[in-house]
């Protein structure tokens, strides 16, 4: 029985020179076991369901056994971490096993995260712990369920081997899947080392594999920057629209494909707080919810700087001006994506000059008062001619809601909005269920006692987050008081 029947021994990234990566072997774990797996991702990869429960499956995705043809690599990159440049980072606990081409022709890198030391581990041990692996596994698939671009996750395997963090924890390995794991930091690495020939090789590789239309542009590297700016603007707008906070938006955690990557101390908003910080290591609030659009531009500026020698190799000033012009497109693109998404969340169909004011007034009234997800879901029941007590009574300053509701009613009336049709459309963009931190924590607590059922429950729930699931209604409740004391950091 073949675990990955379509696995190819050729890793596309390994066609680049060997100083872009290192060949590395995973370090086995003792007595590994399967914690959980994603049926959807297994189907995409054409994995025989019967193989998932076999010891071979667990051995392969723990890194204890290599499949025929697998020659794993770990890649090197650098990046700006909390605004400061770090000259060398890299896959310190991750390695690409190989690639699988799905039935639609998409190639997926199969990456083990937590499979032991690599040449880029620095002071780390190359391992991941069960709690952080559960968090990334669930959020990867939850984001996919929301329709937000993301790396995916196939499975978690665990072991009782000990890992030392703030306390002793058990080991785990996440099998992460993406068309590519190339980051902004891969480009920064070669730029700051002034290895411009290597920089060009990397850019040509990314264009050839993922942005082939850029090759036909007058300036392929400038067009590459434009494409990444557009994808990043769209991605961050989607984050904001569902109340997602990444927590560690370092440039090495930004995907060149516009995917959400590296789920560490993330968090979805419970009560709406514009300055919500999910990472208790982020003492200055650099990566707060309301700062994410600005940080997106900062990271794109880091990428643009790295591409300058390619944009114009003869005239640095000209290259900088061209890059600056492209970066100026980011804010209008972000605003366009965000405002369109907000109109959909409110059931509005036609852009209006008052859109920004309507949105700002709503969030100002919601600040520190209303649950973000529950409010937008409930808003689909808004009646133009009604008093809407079920919404109004959630506000402390109810006159502010009244004022906003009058403006909203006028917009709906101007579009001759039909309530039943509007509600149906709003339910398709305002999720009923999100991966709240307390839900993840509950699953982690059970998993640490070898009960993995809650992981499966959450995975199934969040596959269809926009659907009414009456038997799961309690998962849409406001979080309990103890959830407010949860703290998350970069530790994993």
How many Cα atoms within 13 Å fall on the side-chain side of residue 21? 22
Q: How far is CA 350 from CA 59, 82, 172, in A?
A: 54, 39, 49
* Token pair listed for 32: 């590994």
Q: How far is CA 55 from CA 32, 33, 51, in A?
A: 9, 8, 9
161 is catalytic: no
CB 371 within 8 A of CB 270: yes
Report the run of H or E that residue 202 belongs to, with start and end.
helix 196-210
Q: Left if phi > 0, otherwise alpha if psi is -120 to 50, otherwise beta: which for 175?
A: beta
Nearest Cα residue to 238 out of 422, 378, 429, 376: 429
d(CA 39, CA 49): 8
Which are the contacts of 353, defined by CB distance < 8 A and separation ≥ 6? Answer: none
Long-range contacts of 314-318 (CB under 8 A, 24+ apart): none
Please name the residue that has the structure tokens 């009574």. Answer: 393
Q: In sequence order, what are the beta bridge partners of 177?
A: 110, 152
Residue from 91, 198, 252, 282 carrying the catalytic annotation: 252
Map residue 74 onto helix, strand or coil. strand
Question: What amino acid positions are annotated as catalytic residues?
Answer: 252
């Amino acid at each position: 029985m073949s675990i990955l029947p379509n696995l190819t021994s050729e890793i596309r990234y390994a066609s680049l020179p060997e100083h872009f990566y290192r060949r590395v072997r995973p370090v086995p774990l003792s007595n590994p076991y399967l914690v959980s797996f994603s049926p959807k991702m297994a189907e995409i990869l054409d994995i025989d369901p019967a193989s998932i429960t076999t010891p071979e499956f667990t051995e392969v995705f723990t890194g204890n056994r290599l499949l025929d043809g697998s020659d794993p690599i770990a890649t090197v990159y650098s990046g700006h971490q909390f605004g400061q440049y770090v000259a060398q980072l890299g896959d310190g606990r991750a390695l690409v096993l190989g690639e699988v081409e799905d039935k639609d022709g998409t190639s997926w890198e199969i990456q083990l995260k937590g499979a032991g030391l690599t040449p880029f581990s620095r002071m780390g041990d190359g391992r991941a712990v069960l709690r952080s692996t559960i968090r990334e596994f669930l959020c990867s698939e939850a984001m996919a369920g929301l329709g937000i671009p993301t790396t995916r996750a196939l499975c978690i395997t665990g072991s009782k081997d000990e890992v030392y963090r703030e306390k002793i924890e058990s080991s785990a390995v996440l099998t992460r899947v993406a068309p590519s794991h190339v980051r902004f930091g891969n480009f920064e690495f070669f730029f700051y080392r002034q290895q411009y020939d290597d920089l060009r090789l990397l850019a040509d590789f990314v264009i050839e594999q993922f942005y082939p239309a850029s090759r036909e542009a007058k300036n392929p590297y400038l067009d590459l920057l434009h494409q990444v700016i557009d994808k990043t603007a769209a991605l961050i707008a989607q984050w904001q629209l569902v109340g997602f906070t990444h927590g560690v938006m370092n440039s090495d955690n930004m995907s060149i494909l516009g995917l959400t990557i590296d789920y560490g101390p993330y968090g979805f908003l419970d009560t709406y707080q514009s300055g919500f910080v999910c990472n208790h290591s982020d003492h200055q609030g650099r990566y707060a919810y309301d700062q994410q659009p600005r940080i997106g531009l900062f990271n794109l500026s880091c990428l643009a700087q790295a591409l300058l020698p390619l944009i114009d190799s003869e005239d640095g000033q000209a290259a900088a001006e061209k890059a600056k012009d492209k970066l100026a497109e980011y804010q209008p693109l972000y605003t366009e994506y965000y405002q369109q998404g907000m109109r959909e969340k409110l059931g509005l169909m036609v852009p209006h000059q008052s859109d920004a004011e309507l949105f700002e007034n709503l969030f100002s009234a919601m600040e520190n008062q209303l649950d973000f997800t529950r409010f937008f879901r409930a808003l689909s029941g808004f009646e133009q001619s009604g008093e809407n007590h079920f919404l109004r009574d959630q506000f402390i300053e109810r006159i502010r809601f009244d004022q906003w509701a009058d403006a909203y009613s006028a917009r709906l009336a101007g579009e001759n909005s039909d309530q039943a049709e509007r509600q149906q459309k709003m339910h398709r963009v305002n999720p009923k269920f999100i991966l709240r931190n307390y839900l993840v924590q509950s699953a982690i607590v059970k998993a640490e006692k070898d009960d993995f059922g809650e992981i499966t429950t959450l995975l199934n729930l969040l596959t269809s987050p926009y659907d009414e699931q009456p038997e799961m209604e309690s998962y849409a409740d406001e979080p309990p008081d103890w959830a407010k004391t949860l703290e998350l950091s970069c530790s994993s």
